[in-house]
Amino acid sequence: MNDSLEVIRAAIQTHSEFVCVAHQDADADSLGSALAFGEYLEQLGKRVSVLAPDPLPRSLAYLPGYSRVNQEPGSLDAVVAAFDAGSPSRFGNLRPRLSSAPLTILFDHHASNDGFGDLGVVDRQAAATGIVVLGLLRRWGAEITPAMATNLYAAVFTDTGGFRHDNTTAAVLRAGAELADLGADPAFVALRSYKWRPATTLRLQALAAGAARYELEGRLIWTEVTQGMLAEAGAEMEETEGIIDLLQSLDTMLCAVLFKQDGPQVTKVSVRTRGGLGAHQLVAALGGGGHFRAAGAEVRAPLAEVEATLLESVRAAVAAEAAP
Ligand SMILES: [Mn+2]
């Protein structure tokens, strides 16, 4: 779904109140894009609230404007601008706001995007939703403040894994440079994104890495985070963020899978791939989605059941792939 930018701009001009919404388990791409776009709307004289589903990750507290998130619910007549999700199911406790809003505008880059929303810009080639938003703000001649630049830089930086994933193109690096010129501090964003872990997170990472299984000559690596491991580390579920990065650093891996026991009947899955395996295809049978290299799912079933189901199909897919 790609509506003309003029149609979207006209829709923005005719409304006075907006709610900018990040997705469940918000990341810097989703929340940074929502905060930057919210600031742009305020430049236009709009009333703006920025919302994120509970729980809002504390690790994003460095994003400018974080303290305003979820402070003002906004009116039910407000237009909803939604960021960085391919399906309305990704908005957790805020999902009813999307269906009741007079107008929903979606900004996204997921390969699995199902075209929800009344209006939207979905660029499946974009490395981040932050790139989509930056493109709009440029086209519309917005004044990009240092706070907006920092939010968009954090969006682009983290959705490229710190400019390391294969979506790190020359154009993405130029966008990073442009945002640095506009006031983003690359060293500060890098510090807070990848070098700023509480001890509980390190302990949890050690437990999860220690429990990792290596299969098919290391082409498949997977592990789990159980409620017991969280208790042992003194950690919250949001601290699982970096574990999939540990798994996917394995030299031999074609597929890395992390299973998270969110509750007795709720299991979350993260998948990363190399080579010809599409991560979003591997999680499709679980109702999940995402990108070619990174995808996830949330399943209403116990941990052991989800592990058994997904690992069976993943083993078959990995076994059919040539070694890297
Ligand atoms: Mn994203």
For 295-306, how does the pLDDT look when each residue is reduced to its tens digit (9 = 90+)?
999 999 999 999
Q: Which residue among 141, 176, 194 closes a domain?
A: 194
Dist. CA 263 → ligand 1 center (Å): 25
pLDDT of residue 20: 98
User: Sheet of 119-122: strands edge to edge?
Assistant: 47-51, 17-21, 79-83, 104-108, 119-122
Task: Tell me which residues of the chain have a pLDDT lower than 70.
Answer: 1, 323-324
Instruction: Determine the pLDDT at residue 247.
Output: 98
**Number of domains the chain is built from:** 2
Give yes or no: residues 278 and 151 share one domain: no
Choose one of 175, 194, 213: the last residue of a domain: 194
Q: What is the layout of strands, in order, in the sheet containing 255-263?
A: 213-215, 220-225, 255-263, 266-273, 294-299, 289-290
Q: What is the pTM of this model?
A: 0.93
Residues 304 and 252 in one domain: yes
Domain match, 184 and 58 both: yes
- CA–centroid distance, 224 to ligand 1, in Å, is 23
Give every CB contact of residue 47 below 8 A, 6+ residues apart in sequence: 16, 17, 18, 74, 78
Expressed as residue numbers, the domain containing 310 is 200-319
- In this structure, the dihedral spanned by the alpha carbons of residues 204, 210, 213 and 214, taken in order and rounded to 10 degrees, is 120
**Do 183 and 293 belong together in one domain?**
no
Separation of alpha carbons 255 and 220, rounded Å:
5
CATH of the domain at 314: 3.10.310.30
pLDDT of residue 115: 85
End-to-end CA distance of the chain: 35
Whole-number Å distance, alpha carbon 84 to ligand 1 midpoint, is 5
> Measured in angstroms, how far is the CA atom of residue 158 from the centroid of ligand 1?
9
Dist CA 176 CA 248 (whole Å):
24
Q: What is the pLDDT of residue 114?
A: 87
CA 158 to mean position of chain CA atoms: 9
CA of 77 to the centre of ligand 1 (A): 27
Taking the centre of ligand 1 as the mean of its atom positions, its distance from the CA of residue 303, in whole angstroms, is 26
Domain-located, residue 324: no
Q: 112 and 204 share a domain?
A: no
Say whether both 267 and 161 belong to one domain: no
Question: Does residue 307 sit within a domain?
Answer: yes
d(CA 187, CA 33): 20
Within this chain, do residues 218 and 190 fall inside the same structural domain, yes or no?
Answer: no
